[in-house]
Amino acid sequence: MSDMEETEGAEGPVAPHRVIGTPPPSPRLLGSTAVAEHREPAEPAMADDEEVAGVPHNVGLAPDDPKMVVHGQRAERVVATCFTLAFFTGCAFVAAYVGIGVGTVDKTLRSNLGLGTTLAATLLLLGTGALIWVRHLMPNVELTEERHDLRSDDADRQGFQEVFKEGTGYSQFVKRPLIRRTLMLGTLPLLAAPIVLLRDSGPKPGTSLRHTVWSPGRRLLVYGTNQPITPADFSAPGSMISIVPDGYQDNDDDLTKAAVVLIKFRPGELDIPTRTQGSTLVGTMNWTVDNIVAYSKICTHVGCPVGLYEQTTHHLLCPCHQSTFDAAKGAEVIFGPAARPLPQLPLTTDSSGYLVAKSDFNEPVGPSFWERG
């Protein structure tokens, strides 16, 4: 403090460590009040400052009211207890981190419990302490702040307008339309740049959505075991299994389109109407083998796998949005938002007796798209 008083005021004695000609250091912000009083009579602190609200006034009991003193002492003890406990639970958190390892599911659960309870306790104790502090120790003050018009007053608006017009005048922006227009022209291609630059983020769709990897003679593998299947292996009527194409069982990109469900019917139950699109055959009884039919597993709504099958009604149900298809009748839509039947995969058997595709699907699988036609 004594340093500061020495250097106080431009006319005062110059401190030896200060280079001549440099201004003296100002008194410290938040320094002793004695220093502030030393200075020239201060301007009234608030009068010129419209932004600052008035002085807060206590609306509760006075702080020196005996009731408040007792109350305050008790609150102080509670707050201090909260904070002290928070210290210990915080330490326990660190101890739990060091002491309880992970590496098995049980250990992970114990670690989670230990870390979680100690961390939650620490946070809640700190919060509780702070809340009791503010509600029971700080005087209950209220403050009224005046609102001012958000709109600038006319003089300011006028002034702004003048400066703006002046600057615009200097810039010649209005006077020289050639510059103005060529500037706009020059920046135009830049606006398209971000879109152009994103072009290489992926290939064009081309016709890839129209085809899958199914091809004549490709074997059907059971999803999960990846084993080929014969009609005799799949002889229990009413069952449904998921199928992936041989050679692509680990390729998610291809499986997204090529996943298939295989359903076995009792004789006479299966009645697939012949469906055509234009001149292309897309559904027929001829594509079944031994009352076994294969449909695309990808829902024609937005592409979820159609995973639920109800034996008694032959309904295939998509669990995402409940599009329902009648598997016995060419997977026509019975309910829900899907607009088209599930495409049928033409089936046959190869020389070894395994189920194989006769060809690819004759129509695009999965959700509709603009170019589908």
Partner 1 sequence: MSDTDFDVPKALSGTGSFLDDRFHGARGLRVLMRKVFPDHWSFMLGEIALWSFVILLLTGTFLSLFFVPSMNQVTYHGTYVKLDGIRMSEAYQSALNITFDVRGGLLIRQIHHWAADLFMAALIIHMLRIFFTGAYRKPREINWLIGIGLFTLGLLEGLFGYSLPDDQLSGAGLRIFEGALQGIPIVGTYLAFFLFGGPFPGHDIVPRMYIIHVLLIPGILLALISAHLFIMFHQKHTQMPGKGNTEKNVNGQPFFPYFMAKGGAWFFFIFGALVLLATFATINPIQLYGPYSPVAISSASQPDFYMGILEGSLRVMPAWEINFLGHTLSLSVLIPFALPLGIVLGGAALWPFFEQWATGDKSFHNINDRPRNAPARTATGVAAMTFYGVLWAEGANDVIADKLQIPLYTITWIARVMVFVGPALGYLITKRICLGLQRKDAAELLHGYESGIIRQLPNGEFIEVHQPVNEEKRAVLEAKPVPALLPGRGSADENGVPSPGSRGALGWARGVANRAFAETVPVEANGHGDGHHGNGHEVEAGAEHAAVGSAPAGSGHGQLPAGDAAEEEPREGG
Cα 123 to Cα 90: distance, rounded to the nearest angstrom: 9
Asked if 222 is part of the footprint of partner 1 (rule: CB under 8 A), the reply reads no
Residue 115 token pair: 């870390």
Asked if 264 is part of the footprint of partner 1 (rule: CB under 8 A), the reply reads no
- Scanning 8-134, the segments in alpha helix (DSSP H) are 33-38, 66-99, 105-132
Sole binder of partner 1 in the list 304, 329, 349, 359 (CB under 8 A): 304
Sole binder of partner 1 in the list 9, 12, 60, 116 (CB under 8 A): 116
Among the listed ranges 8-16, 164-172, 214-222, 362-370, the one in contact with partner 1 (CB under 8 A) is 362-370
Secondary structure class of 219 (helix, strand, coil)? strand
Cβ nearer to partner 1, comparing 44 with 103: 103
Cα 217 to Cα 214: distance, rounded to the nearest angstrom: 9
Show contacts with partner 1 in window 67-96 (CB under 8 A): none
Closest CA to 235 of 271, 261, 266: 266
Report the relative pairing of strands 292-296 and 240-245 from DSSP bridges.
Answer: unpaired
Cβ nearer to partner 1, comparing 40 with 250: 250
Asked if 58 is part of the footprint of partner 1 (rule: CB under 8 A), the reply reads no
CB 132 within 8 A of CB 78: yes
Closest approach of partner 1 to the CB of residue 286, in Å: 26
Closest CA to 337 of 350, 318, 353: 318
How many other β-carbons are positioned within 10 Å of the β-carbon of residue 44?
Answer: 8
Cα 316 to Cα 301: distance, rounded to the nearest angstrom: 14
Secondary structure class of 104 (helix, strand, coil)? coil
Asked if 311 is part of the footprint of partner 1 (rule: CB under 8 A), the reply reads no
Closest approach of partner 1 to the CB of residue 270, in Å: 24
Show contacts with partner 1 in window 123-152 (CB under 8 A): 123-124, 126-128, 130-131, 133-134, 138, 141-147, 150
Closest approach of partner 1 to the CB of residue 333, in Å: 6
Sole binder of partner 1 in the list 19, 20, 62, 105 (CB under 8 A): 105
CB 117 within 8 A of CB 146: no
Asked if 30 is part of the footprint of partner 1 (rule: CB under 8 A), the reply reads yes
Asked if 279 is part of the footprint of partner 1 (rule: CB under 8 A), the reply reads no
Asked if 56 is part of the footprint of partner 1 (rule: CB under 8 A), the reply reads yes
How many other β-carbons are positioned within 10 Å of the β-carbon of residue 217?
Answer: 14
Sole binder of partner 1 in the list 40, 186, 190, 370 (CB under 8 A): 370
Cβ nearer to partner 1, comparing 57 with 165: 57
Residue 279 token pair: 């001149």
Asked if 328 is part of the footprint of partner 1 (rule: CB under 8 A), the reply reads no
Cβ nearer to partner 1, comparing 19 with 62: 62
